[in-house]
Structure 1
Amino acid sequence: MTPGLNAAKFVVREKELEQALGALLAGRGMVIVGPVGVGRTAFLAAVAARLNASRYAVVWTSATEASRELPFGAFTGLLGVTEQVSQGGLVGALLRRAEGRTPVLVIDDAHYLDPASAALALGLAHEREVRLLITARPDAPMPDAVVALWKDRYLRRLDLEPFGLDGTTRLVRALLDGVAAGPTVRLLHGWTGGNPLFLTELVRHALATGRLVTEGGLWWWRGALSVPPRLAELFDGWLRGLDHAQRDALAAVALGEPLPLALLDAVAPGVVESLEERGLLRSADGDGRIVVRPAQRMLGAALRHRLPGLRRRRLCAELLTAGADAVDPVQRARWQLDADHPPEPGTLLRAAALTCRHDPELAARLARRALERTDLAAPVLAAALVELGDPDQARQVLRNAGPRARLALAAHRCWAERDPSGAHADLSALPGAAAAGLDALVLLFAGRTAEAEQTAAEALRAHGPGLASARLAHLLARVLAGRTAAAAAVAPRTGDELAGYALARLWRGEDVRLPLGDLAFGRLPHAPGSAAARHIAEAGLPDTEWSLLSGYAHTLAGEPDLAVARLREAVVQQNGGHRLFRTEAASWLAMALLAQRRPADAAAVLAAHPPDAIALLPGLSDQATGALAAARGDLPGALAAYSSAAATARSAGAHTLELTALTELRWLAPGASPDRLAALLTSVDAPRLAAEAAAALAVSRGDPGELLEHAAHLEKLGLTDRAARLAEAASSTGGDRRGEAVLLVSRLRGHAAVAVTGSVALTPREMEIAALAADGRSDREVARALGLSVRTVQSHLARIYRKLGVHSRRDLPFRR
């Protein structure tokens, strides 16, 4: 994937293009208003390219700061050397250029027009022979005559806005000539506000500097925000004319965004309003107080990058003195480091913990400084180093910290070194509540669900519900064991608990708010409103649903395309750092690809990400292997894999996973394990999953009424393929519900005869004829309505009756 860095890209705005063309064809023209970088000139070029060159002649001129100093400066180039500028003269010059066509005069950057040129443009709007296309910036002073063009309704006004997320996605795809990961697109959109110029420059700069890289077939942003040189020059122009106090205020906001207004007034009094009027700052209400940010995210990054060291040190010291308690620990810790103040270890530790998941580089910097004062910083530093891909250094940090880091060392052994058995042995030898809670989580990820639940329950009885690790392990173990109602009844306190709670609700078939994942790394979930979520929001990183669980939710909803998109992201995310859910991401992605009928791609995913000793969902990797074997037509291999998955889950005590494995086994082999599956249906409380299991059992009983009821239920759940299979089974049994079953097959198969058992589905034409006949129309009326012969209608009806097992119109089980 090597995109061309110099290729100009324009993303078509179809709706706006149609409006502009309509204004030209049906009226006198249009004024396009939009901020710097929104693509006004490119939009004009796109409009001009759509015009019929045999009917319209496009003539361009641009106003500039230099031309504003000359009367009629923007139009002198359109006239001969000896011609005097006048409305009539300009119209004549345009008509001569047009050579019998309608002239379209394009005036770019009309906000720079001198008063005489602006008056002339207003006069041209009265001319029937000429059409106008004019652009202007909304934030620049405009001559009254330009404003009158739309205010007095001579021309229509079109406000060209920055892109929304969809437009940003299309432009980024065009610039990269490939697909960017959803979190990266959202990150770019958040930084640029959807401004096409900013997006284009940022993407090209990131490609040149290695901040955009490909992983898992997707483009990902890696590293801190870096401002492209061309945009830095643009921002320098915005700052011209600012005095020292105004520059200090802007720099202070950049160092602390979002900065409380009261704190900014204490550092740089009396200048905030002037900066807001110039469009350099924006204010908003935040947690009951007014906070201030740079008007553009990248302006703040440019200011921080170019801030001289001594000035940075002075401003950070002033901010600390003026009221460091008014900001979150992360900002306070940054200021302490930049001001070279004696660090507060507690502040540094809290800040490192808040940033470890989404900004491990900053977390490592803060934790290293804290480690100079206390060994308590070692676990946070080690966690940040693992997220940064350096588990060996992380282990060394923990070893150097001595006894205080023994818990963290055991956690490192489990997840970073993929040795849960060794970690369990280490934790079993350690006393205290923290060791017991962590041991429950280790057992859970080692595939020992029942033991994890017991250990967590004992820890909670001994040490109370405040033990977060035991509480999380207990919640997840109950979900896996099949007690989803009990798990969903407990309000989650953390992002990790919200993930377990959401999984329980998904398996129950209930609506649920999914946990969030930050856009930088996104490996672990966090809850809306949590301290981490607030800090991420204040850092300007927009939230999105956690990719892993979002992808799985789309799979359950029967939306494989959306599932694959999110799970591709999850596989990349879970392949770095602590890799907690690496097996789940790869297995779910493979199964979503199989739902798209892409077995080769599913096989590649499973081969690239083989299972190891860490997995939250016992037997899931075997289920993915079984699904792949079934897709390839390897029935013995599929049966063996699903049998292994069911045995693994049963041994672990993860009965929800055993239920899903036996359900798949039953769909492949209707006589397989009926007693065990029936027993699980009475003990596993997961209605969404139980619906598939009950339907699989119904196939062997062959009762058409029961089969149709299950088919209707599965259709509501989005499982149309399996619903169609049940309906086909019902249609093959005969009886008085055969016609109903055939019609259901027809609808579920998309009116196409593609069923695997020699379909009895109606064709699209047969569906039309059946609908009309069922309404009581005669053969002749049906023929007239569809443009067919009467004999053709009668032939179709004979086939319809035969397929549905009925004898007349009155028996058709169909109404329009």
Structure 2
Amino acid sequence: MQGSGVQRSGVQGSGVQASGVQGSGVQASGVQGSTSGFVGRSRELAALRQALGAAPAIVLVDGEAGIGKSRLVAEALAGMDDVRRLRGGCEPVQEPFPLGPVLDAVRGHADRLPPPGALSPVVGALVPYLPEIAARLPPAPPPLNDLPAERHRLFRGVLALLDNIGTAVLVLEDVHWADAGTCEFVAFLAGRVPPGLALVLTLRSEDSADLPIWEALARAGATRRITLEPLQRVQVRELARELLGSPELPRGFVTSLVEATAGIPFVIEEVLRGGPDLSAGLPVPTALRDLLRARWATLDDDVREVLSAAAVLGTAPDEALLVRLIGDPARVAHALSRGLAAGLLHEQDGQCRFRHALAWQVIHEELPSPTRRWLHLRAARLLDEGDGPRPVARLAHHYGQAGATAQFVRSAEEAADLAVSHGDDATAAHFLVPAMRVAALPSADRVRLAGKLARAAVDGLAHSTAVPVLTDLLAGDDLPAVVRGELRFMLGRLLRQQGEAEAGYREIERSVDELGDRPDLRARALAILAVPDLVVDRPIEVHLARAAQASAVAADDPAASIAVGIARTSLAIERGDPAGWPAVDALRTGPALLGNPREHARACINWAQAALHVGHANRAELLLVEARRAVDDLAYLRFAGVVDLVGAWVDLSTGRWDGLLERARAMVSTPSEFTDAALDARFLLATVLAVAGEPDEAERLLRDVVAGAARVGAYRPLAPARIGLARLLLGLGRPRAAAEEAMRALDIVRPKQLWPSAADATLCLVDACIRLDRPEDAWPAVDELAVALRAADAPLALARAAQCRASLTGDAEQFDSARRQFAELGLRYEQADAEARLGQCLVLRGDPDGPGWLERSLRSFDALGALGGVTEVRRTMRQLGVPIPYPWRGGRKSYGGRLSPREREVAALAASGTTNQEIAERLFLSRRTVESHVATALRKLGGRTRRDLAALLESADDV
């Protein structure tokens, strides 16, 4: 898209813009005033206009190079005269300037802003970045001492500015080149799009599946995606007629054109722009690269020399630098004019650019290697000699292309430092990794860069990139001990964030002895090692010893003391230590933690999780509110997904289940910046599925979680997932397997002494032993639990322990006591389960109140939507001969030989040609669940293959 408008033909020489064509276009048969139509994109255009008309909105327009993304956006905006158009573009080489493309888009629209006094003060954060409109902004706020907080304040300032501009479309083009900060801002903006704003992103989708922007879009969630495909044969014919001004085309011409261009509009234009002799057929050769090379060959040597130098400067060459490089302004002007006439360049926003990335690439590649290296070196030196801030990213690019490794490393490190100063750790890693790969890099430089990379990667998005670099570096013998210790500590943290619990823990353990001269880092390492539920095979004595060591080491370091305090209080809560919560309250309200917003957010998340584990759901909810406020206020976006995950667990525990299954599926399908959270999200989904009455999918997920957690040695979610699997197996009528799984869970818990999280396993073992007519086998575990929980602050586990003993003794009073305890704690599912146990006990005793409690439990489970609980209680009532209230409308609907709504939805998508993987992604299902639904639909409808589904669905009478 050029500027914010749309180029139209109609003036001689202005050209015809074909579908997807960027730039000068083709003069259609030399006819003045001819106008090309917009070919083959009516459906996509309607979809984009509909999305833009439903602001707030986020729309992704993607497709391969030359497919017509910019033209589609321009065409959609053409009729929106009352909408402000903001445009920013991403470039392959960008300086580490915060939100450059976004700020470029807004800087020219200050006229739409109210007076500075009417703007939010946070907009003042933009003053250092938009000095040209500073007079229209509030004063800059004082600096913060926290780079992530500064970064978030900038995000909030841009958001407030966009909100004040009014009805607008913000177009960010070529986001496959977007820097990490822009990607992060897209994720931030996603949940906060101002009412009058539509965000449009264009993306070249080929070979870009692993780009950071995809993760940002996945976290955005509500993104509308419009994918442009190559034109079909009939559309190619229509476009060729438009471009050539000929209503009739020779036989076979369109077929050859499709074969030569693959239906890509830009390539079609390039093939036809010379107006081929139709009787002679297409020009030979017709490949786009060959056409561009042929066009390049028509230029004289002098023009080619100048344009070669322009290609070295990038897709949008700096004309002033080009003049300095060539030394003759007239010669440069002549060459640029010839490039425009040849269709290799076009003008955009008053600047000559290469008309297409392929045109730039062909010219750059045509340069002999020595010439290309010399031009890059000459460009770098000219940039180095300039006044003002050094363009470190461009310098790194040119020095790198020139093979000047020492200068490249220096510039890359400066670019990384600049990125870090803006809080952009991921961009810093982007510069540091290639610098460290320089073969001749001196050891001292490699160590220094590795330290910077490790620190950037821990807080950034470059985990997978940094891990092998640090691993290789640590394999050598030339590192000083303290440097080795710091790098190993960082490596351990990175491995943990990638989900490699045991490997990360082991590296952190090894780093402790190497960090003797760094007590600050040593204390933090020991604090991590004190956390008991990270790994499976370290007993509680190890964690307690590490906690004591951490406290001693951190005594004189306030910052490290905070980390140690968080770890020690979390350990106390998980163990049920009554001193835990007073210690939490003292730390939580103290100035040390409140003065460190990032640690404050992390602490509240950790404490909320620990509170849930021991049954303090109300405390967990309050802590989660506090954590969310810290994350929102300071936008620690990397914590946002974890907060959402913990919030879902709080809602599950307290019975707020509306939409919870959909949320859980979305969390599983959305990439997390903490890979180790992926298993927790899958465990959450499995748990929700189990209580919602989907045991088959729940069992598959639970077994996957158990296998994954066992592989990496992660205590959590291995132990709770085994407990969940045991409970599910019991509900499926497999008590022996349930007992075995419960005992495996207890074997994991026992060395950790985290008995508050073991009570569910013990109760499941009791239930299984009773069904196996071997209740005496459960007594040792029940007694062990009772001893372990003596004087513990663990209300959930204490109530479960009472149910264990009551189940073995038939003590209705203990069942009722547990029921009241769950009600007081606000744990509605556990309360419904306790009502069922109480009712069953009373019925077996002949107490007339028993049936009433069973019916009450039935209705409690039904109100929650816990269809698994409904099914279990109905089974119990039938076994006891207790009448089930009729008509009963609760419970899971049986569809018999008819398709369920979900089966019909999956079958319809399969009939349309959608693959199982695509269906799974669209509906937030596992691929195996989709396969199961397709197979069930075929069985019920009497079909044999997916091809049968369309006709069978049309004739089926089930709805």
TM-score (norm 1): 0.51
| 2:827 aligned residue (717, 720, 728) | 717
Deviation at 1:721, TM superposition (A): 4.5
List gaps (5 residues or longer) in structure 1: 1-35, 37-64, 66-171, 176-187, 210-225, 274-283, 316-332, 518-524, 768-816
Moved more, 594-603 or 382-391: 382-391
Cα distance change, pair 251–588 in 1 and its aligned pair in 2 (3 A) = closer
Partner of 1:254: 104
Q: Which one of 602, 605, 613 corresponds to residue 496 of structure 1?
A: 602
CA deviations 1:617-647 (Å, max 9, x no partner) are: 3623432442343243221221122122122
Q: Of the candidates 787, 798, 814, which is equivalent to residue 690 of structure 1?
A: 798
What SS class does the counterpart of residue 684 from structure 1 fall into?
coil
Structure 2 unmatched ranges of 5 or more: 9-43, 90-98, 108-122, 139-152, 179-313, 322-348, 350-388, 397-406, 437-444, 594-598, 864-869, 890-959
Matched, 1:604 2:700: yes
Deviates more, 1:285-294 or 1:554-563: 285-294
Q: 1:706 to 1:722 in 2, by over 3 A?
A: same
Q: Show the counterpart of 1:446.
A: 535
CA drift of 1:368 comes to 6.6
Corresponding residue number in structure 2 for 1:230? 72
1:744 aligns with 2:841: no
Are residues 689 and 599 of structure 1, via their aligned partners in 2, closer, same or farther at CA, if it must alter by over 3 Å? same
Aligned to 2:185: none
| Counterpart residue number, 1:679 | 787
Instruction: Verify the 8 A CA contact 2:802 2:815 in the aligned structure 1.
Output: no
1:466 to 548, 555, 559: 559
Q: Do structure 1's residue 702 and structure 2's residue 567 form an aligned pair? A: no
Contact 1:252 1:264 in 2 (8 A): no
8 Å Cα contact 2:654-2:828 kept in structure 1: yes
Q: Which has the higher helix share?
A: 2
Which of these residues, 631, 646, 650, is aligned with residue 553 of structure 1?
650
Amino acid of the structure 1 residue aligned with 2:787: A
2:639, 2:790 → 1: CA distance?
43
8 Å contact kept, 2:816–2:838: yes
- What displacement does 1:510 show? 1.3
Give the equivalent residue in structure 2 for 1:267: 132
After superposition, give the CA deviation of every residue in 1:12-36 in whole Å (9 maximum; x if it has no partner). xxxxxxxxxxxxxxxxxxxxxxxx9
Q: Is the 8 A contact 2:83 2:169 kept in 1?
A: no
- Report the residue type matching 2:103 in the other structure: V
Name the counterpart of 2:882.
760
Partner-residue secondary structure (3-state), 1:725: helix
The 1-side partners of 2:855 and 2:812 are apart by 14
Shift of residue 288 of structure 1? 11
In the alignment, what sits opposite 1:580?
A: 676
Distance 1:687 1:260 in 2: 47
User: What aligned pairs does 1:304-343 form with structure 2 within 5 A after superposition?
Assistant: 310=318, 337=393
Give me the whole-angstrom Cα distance separating, in 2, the residues matched to 1:312 and 1:729: 87
Q: Which amino acid aligns with 1:438?
A: A
The alpha-carbon deviation at position 597 of structure 1 amounts to 2.7
Spell out, residue by residue over 1:363-416, the C-alpha distance to the aligned partner (whole angstroms, 9 max, x if none). Answer: 534787898975531213554575356743453466689442533335535535
Alpha-carbon RMSD: 5.7
Flag the 1:652–1:761 CA change in 2: closer, same or farther, 3 A. Answer: same
Deviations 1:444-490 (A, max 9, x none): 42233442233123212332352155344323322322235256423
1:647 aligns with 2:747: yes
Report the residue type matching 1:678 in the other structure. A
Q: Per the alignment, do residues 351 and 516 of structure 1 end up closer, same or farther by CA in structure 2, a change over 3 Å counting? A: farther
Structure 2 residue 513 is the aligned partner of structure 1 residue 429: yes
Q: Deviations over 1:282-332 (max 9, x none)?
A: xx999999963484573466899899575999x9xxxxxxxxxxxxxxxxx
User: Taking structure 1 as reference, are residues 337 and 647 closer, same or farther at Cα in structure 2, changes over 3 Å only?
Assistant: same
Q: Which amino acid aligns with 1:722?
A: D
Report if the CA contact (8 A) 1:731-1:737 is conserved.
yes
SS at match of 1:629: helix
| Mean Cα deviation higher: 684-693 or 392-401 | 392-401
- CA deviation vs aligned residue, 1:421-455 (integer Å, no higher than 9, x gap): 74255224322432343144246422334422331
Amino acid at match of 1:379: A
User: What secondary structure, in the 3-state scheme, does the structure 1 residue paired with 2:161 have?
Assistant: strand
Is the CA contact 2:624–2:647 (under 8 Å) kept in the aligned structure 1? no
Post-superposition Cα deviations, 1:233-275, rounded to whole Å, max 9, x if no partner, equal: 556888999999x99x9978337996646447742477889xx
Partner amino acid for 1:548? L
Task: Give the structure 1 partner of residue 634 of structure 2.
Answer: 534
Query: d(CA) in 2 for partners of 1:664 and 1:679?
Result: 18
Are the structure 2 counterparts of residues 243 and 656 from structure 1 closer, same or farther at C-alpha, using a change threshold of 3 Å?
closer
Aligned partners of 1:669 and 1:692: how far apart in 2?
A: 16
Find the aligned partners of 2:418 and 2:723 in 1 and give their Cα distance: 41
Distance 1:299 1:395 in 2: 41
Answer yes or no: is 1:387 the counterpart of 2:463: yes
Counterpart position of 1:292: 161
**Do the aligned partners of residues 612 and 565 (structure 1) sit closer, same or farther apart at CA in structure 2, a change above 3 Å counting?**
farther
Q: Deviations over 1:146-178 (max 9, x none)?
A: xxxxxxxxxxxxxxxxxxxxxxxxxx9xx9xxx
Distance of 2:712 and 2:101 partners within structure 1: 50
Structure 2 equivalent of residue 456 of structure 1: 547
Cα separation, 1, equivalents of 2:827 and 2:620: 15
**CA deviation profile, 1:677-705 (whole Å, cap 9, x unmatched):** 22234243122343333334333343444
Match of 2:714 among 615, 634, 655: 615
Tell whether 2:758 aligns with 1:658: yes
TM-score normalised by the chain length of structure 2 = 0.44
Task: Determine the C-alpha separation between the residues in 2 that align with 1:565 and 1:353.
Answer: 39
DSSP 3-state at the match of 1:205: strand
Paired position in structure 2 for 1:406:
485
Preserved CA contact (<8 Å) 1:663 1:692: yes
CA separation of 1:498 and 1:762: change in aligned 2, threshold 3 A: same
Q: Distance in 2 between matches of 1:241 and 1:665?
A: 65
Contact (CA 8 Å) 1:583, 1:614: kept in 2 or not? no
1:355/1:362 contact within 8 Å kept: no
Q: Give the counterpart letter for 2:687 in structure 1.
A: M
Letter in 2 for 1:267: E
CA drift of 1:227 comes to 8.1
Tell me the SS of whatever aligns to 2:714.
coil
Task: Return closer, same or farther for 1:597/1:443 CA change in 2, 3 Å cut-off.
Answer: same
The 2-side partners of 1:286 and 1:420 are apart by 33
1:720-746 C-alpha deviation (Å, 9 max, x unpaired): 541342232243123464475355346
Superposition pairs for residues 1-80 of structure 1, below 5 Å? none
Q: Is the 8 A contact 1:436 1:459 kept in 2?
A: yes
Given the alignment, which residue of 734, 737, 741 partners 2:846? 734
Q: In structure 1, the residue corresponding to 2:170 is in which secondary structure?
A: helix
- Counterpart residue number, 1:84: none
C-alpha contact (below 8 Å) 2:664/2:685 kept by paired residues: yes
What secondary structure, in the 3-state scheme, does the structure 1 residue paired with 2:876 have? coil
Question: Cα–Cα, structure 1 residues 556 and 264, in superposed 2: closer, same or farther, change >3 Å?
Answer: closer
Per-residue deviation, residues 40-72 of structure 1 (Å, max 9, x unmatched): xxxxxxxxxxxxxxxxxxxxxxxxx9xxxxxxx
Give the letter for the 1:697 counterpart: R
The 8 Å contact of residues 386 and 577 in structure 1, kept in 2 or not, is answered as no
* Structure 1 residue 551, shift from structure 2 partner: 3.1
Tell me how far apart the structure 1 counterparts of residues 644 and 687 of structure 2 sit (CA, whole Å): 16
CA spacing shift, 1:488–1:712, aligned 2, 3 Å: same
User: Secondary structure at 1:638's aligned position in 2?
Assistant: helix
CA contact (8 A) 2:61 2:69 kept: no
Alignment check: 8 A CA contact 1:475 1:487 kept: yes
Q: Does 1:636 align with 2:713?
A: no
Specify whether residues 231 and 452 from structure 1 end up closer, same or farther in structure 2 by C-alpha distance, changes over 3 A only: farther
Equivalent residue, structure 2, for 1:328: none
Superposed CA offset, 1:638-659 (max 9, x none): 1122122122212023222223
Q: Is the 8 A contact 1:514 1:549 kept in 2?
A: no
- Percent sequence identity is 14
